[in-house]
Structure formats: structure tokens, C-alpha cells
């Protein structure tokens, strides 16, 4: 699992896991493609096109919900770590990406 270093308000250095919310400004084309593969699985073509557009051009308009912290970058690439029901959570993640602020 990849991590970033951060300094809290007490000056302590902490390891922070790389997830969608804290890495969205640094996403490469490969990162976006991997995230797209995760969230677009089993979608209709029109939905896939809209998801691709959001990930390519409107990343800054995707709200920062906590569930997006479960989209994490590991050594092998991006994955989603479900808490309870993977299909339900992926639907929620997809809905968040499709809605704009």
C-alpha cells in the first residue's frame, strides 16, 4: 500500500494512505483508467461515457465523500475496499462521481 507523509497540527509526522480524496489532484491517465474500470463495471455505455468525462475533465467537481476514501492505491494499482456490500458501495461511488457539486 502506498502512503504519503503528512504533518498534523502538533507537528507529528504521520503516514497517510493514498486514496481518491487525497490524491485526486495528482491522478495520472493510468490512475484514471484504473478507477474507471472499477466504477464502470456492469454499466451501460451512456453511463460509462459520462463516468469517463467526469474522471477526465471534472475531477475537482466530484464531492469529497468519505466513501471515496475506500478507493485506494496499492502497489499493484487502484482498488476498492468495501466495508459491507461491494455492489451497493460501488453503486454509491458511481452516483457520487456522476453528481457534480
Model pLDDT, residue 13? 55
Structural domain includes residue 38:
yes
Whether the pLDDT of residue 96 is over 60: the answer is: yes
| Residue range 21-57, pLDDT digits in tens | 999 999 999 999 999 999 999 999 999 999 999 999 9
| Structural domains in the chain (count) | 1
Structural domain includes residue 59:
yes
Q: How confident is the model at residue 14 (pLDDT cuts 50, 70, 90)?
A: low
Q: Which domain holds residue 32?
A: 19-98
Whether residue 80 contacts residue 93, with contact meaning beta carbons closer than 8 Å, is answered with yes
Model pLDDT, residue 1? 47
Write out the three cell numbers for 14: 504521520
* Helix, strand, coil content of the chain in percent (nearest 5): 50, 20, 30
Structural domain includes residue 69:
yes
Amino acid at each position: 500500500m502506498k502512503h504519503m507523509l503528512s504533518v498534523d497540527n502538533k507537528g507529528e509526522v504521520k503516514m497517510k494512505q493514498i486514496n481518491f480524496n487525497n490524491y485526486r489532484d495528482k491522478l495520472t491517465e493510468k490512475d484514471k483508467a484504473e478507477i474507471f474500470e472499477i466504477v464502470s463495471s456492469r454499466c451501460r455505455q451512456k453511463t460509462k461515457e459520462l463516468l469517463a468525462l467526469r474522471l477526465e475533465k471534472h475531477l475537482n467537481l466530484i464531492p469529497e465523500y468519505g466513501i471515496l476514501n475506500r478507493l485506494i492505491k496499492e502497489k499493484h494499482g487502484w482498488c476498492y475496499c468495501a466495508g459491507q456490500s461491494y455492489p451497493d458501495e460501488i453503486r454509491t461511488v458511481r452516483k457520487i462521481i456522476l453528481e457534480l457539486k
